[in-house]
Amino acid sequence: MKLSRKNGLRASAIGALVVSGALVLSACGSDDNTGPTKDGGTTSAAASDIKCDGAKGQLLAAGSSAQKNAMDLWVKNFQAACSGVEINYQAIGSGGGITKFNQGQVAFAGSDSALKEDEVAESQKICKGGKGINLPMVGGPIAIGYKLEGVDNLVLDASTLAKIFDNKITKWNDPAIAKLNPGAKLPDTAIQAFHRSDESGTTQNLGKYLSTAAPADWKHDPKSKSWPAQGGQAANGSSGVATAVKDAEGSIGYFELSYATANKISTVSINTGASAPVAATSENASKAIAAAKIKGTGSDLALSLDYATKAEGAYPLILVTYEIACDKGNKAETLPTLKAFLNYTVSEAGQKVLTDAGYAPLPAEIATKVREIVPTLS
C-alpha cells in the first residue's frame, strides 16, 4: 500500500501565531516590500514598520545557514526601507560565525546554539567592557528529508533515526522502519545518510534531540557542532545536504524546513509517543518552542528546549537561532545599524514574515524580552 499524504505541510500563519502568542508591537503603514515565500510567492513587510534610527553604511554578519532564508527576507526588507544601508550576511555555519565574531570581523553572528563558556570568555576581548550575549531571533523545525520512491509519508522515531545516522540501520526495509510504517512498500534499498561537513548548530541540535529522546541509541557528544558519528556522507551547509538528498535515491538528511520546501523534498513525521506522528511544520514546531525556558542571566537570553516532548502536535526536533552581539563594546560606527536591524527582525513585522518561509515566530514572552534587550546594546 502506497502512503499518500505528502509531507512538508504548510502551517498557517494564524495557527503559528496563536501557538506562539500574540506579539506585542503593532504594525502600520502601506508601503510594501516583498520577499519570497516557501511557495514561491511574496511576503510583504510595510516599509513604515521599519525604523532606520540612524542606520547607515555596511553591516557585516556571518554564521548559521539555518537562518539564511529568514535573513534573506529581513535584509531585503530592511535595505528597501533604509537607503544607503547594506547588510552582508554570510551563511558559513554557526561555528564559523562565532569564530568571525570573536575575531572582531563581524558585528553579529548567527548561531543555532548558545555560546559556550569559553566562547563567552573569548568574546570579552572584542566586546570591550562587555561580552557576547545570545539573542533568540528565529525558531523552526529541523526537517528530516528523504528520497524514497513509492513512500510519500514516512514515520520514524528517535531510536530509528539514531540508528540510521549511526549506521546501525542500513536498509530501508529494516524491521524497525517497517514496524513504524505498516503497509508501506519499503524497498530493499541501501540508506544513504547525509550529514553536515561544516561545524553546525543544526548538527548540535540534532545531537541534543537524539541523545535526549533516544539515549540508549545515540552515545555521541550532544554538544558537538561537528558530526560525531562514523560513516555516512557529508555535504556543506544545509543547502548542500538538501541538494544531496534531493539528488540521491534512498537518501536521508537533516536541514531546516525551508530547504525541504524549496527543494520539494519529502519530510519524516516523528513518532514521539503522542497519539499520532507529528509532521515537521512551523505550527508544530511553535508548540514545542513555546515550552522553552530562558536559562541565560542578565542580558543573555539563551534558551533550554524540551527535545523529549510528547505533547500532542508538538514537533520535538527544533532549533532556535540566536543573533550573537556584544552587550557592551560594540563598534560605534556600526552600532546604530546593528540595533535598528535587530529591532526590526524581532519586531512584529519582522517575525510575521517567518511562517511562510518555513520558520516559527518567537513565543510572545521571549520576543518581548529580546525587544527589551536590543535597545540597550551599547
Tens digits of per-residue pLDDT, 234-248?
999 999 999 999 999
| Alpha-carbon separation of residue 285 from 11, 272, 358 (angstroms) | 10, 13, 10
CB 356 within 8 A of CB 43: yes
CA distance 202 to 208: 10
Inform me whether the pLDDT recorded for 40 exceeds 60: no
Across residues 123-139, what is the average pLDDT?
97
In sequence order, which residues have a C-beta less than 8 Å from that of residue 315 and are 6 or more positions away? 141, 270, 278, 279, 280, 281, 284, 285, 287, 288
Inform me whether the pLDDT recorded for 192 exceeds 60: yes
**C-alpha cell, 271:** 513518532
Query: DSSP secondary-structure letter at 35?
Result: E
Q: Provide the mean pLDDT of the chain.
A: 88
pLDDT digit string, tens, across residues 154-179: 999 999 999 999 999 999 999 999 99
User: Helix or strand or coil: residue 346?
Assistant: coil
Which residue did the predictor score with more confidence, 316 or 291?
A: 316
Which among 34, 32, 37, 67 has a CA at the least distance from the CA of 49? 32
Which among 317, 350, 305 has a CA at the least distance from the CA of 45? 350
Inform me whether the pLDDT recorded for 33 exceeds 60: no
Inform me whether the pLDDT recorded for 19 exceeds 60: no
DSSP per residue, 184-219: ----S-B-EEEEESS--HHHHHHHHHHHHH-TTT--
Across residues 311-327, what is the average pLDDT?
96
pTM over 0.85: no
DSSP per residue, 281-309: -HHHHHHHHTT-EE---TT---EE--TT-
Q: Are strands 32-36 and 233-235 parallel, antiparallel or unpaired?
A: unpaired
- Predicted confidence band of residue 49 (pLDDT cuts 50, 70, 90): confident
Tell me which of 22-31, 107-116, 186-195, 299-308 is least confident.
Answer: 22-31
Q: How many helices (H) and strands (E) does the chain have?
A: 13, 15
- Predicted confidence band of residue 346 (pLDDT cuts 50, 70, 90): very high
Residue-level pLDDT at 351: 95
Residue-level pLDDT at 136: 97
Question: 284-301: b or e for each residue (b if 16 or more CB lie within 10 Å)?
Answer: bbbbbbbebeeebeebbb
Residue-level pLDDT at 28: 29
Across residues 371-376, what is the average pLDDT?
98
CA distance 331 to 79: 20
- Predicted confidence band of residue 355 (pLDDT cuts 50, 70, 90): confident
Query: CB 345: neighbour CB atoms within 10 A?
Result: 26
Query: DSSP secondary-structure letter at 363?
Result: P
CA distance 266 to 249: 12
CB 305 within 8 A of CB 292: yes
Residue-level pLDDT at 148: 97
In terms of Cβ atoms closer than 10 Å to its own Cβ (0-12, 13-18, 19+), residue 62 is: buried
Query: DSSP secondary-structure letter at 347?
Result: S
Inform me whether the pLDDT recorded for 334 exceeds 70: yes
Across residues 315-337, what is the average pLDDT?
97
Tell me which of 27-41, 88-102, 132-146, 190-204 is least confident.
Answer: 27-41
Cα-trace Rg, the chain = 20
Query: DSSP secondary-structure letter at 142?
Result: E
CA distance 173 to 192: 13
Query: CB 155: neighbour CB atoms within 10 A?
Result: 20
Which residue did the predictor score with more confidence, 77 or 36?
A: 77
Residue-level pLDDT at 38: 37
Inform me whether the pLDDT recorded for 296 exceeds 60: yes
CA distance 173 to 171: 6
User: Helix or strand or coil: residue 114?
Assistant: coil
**C-alpha cell, 204:** 548540535
pLDDT digit string, tens, across residues 95-129: 999 999 999 999 999 999 999 999 999 999 999 99
In terms of Cβ atoms closer than 10 Å to its own Cβ (0-12, 13-18, 19+), residue 324 is: buried
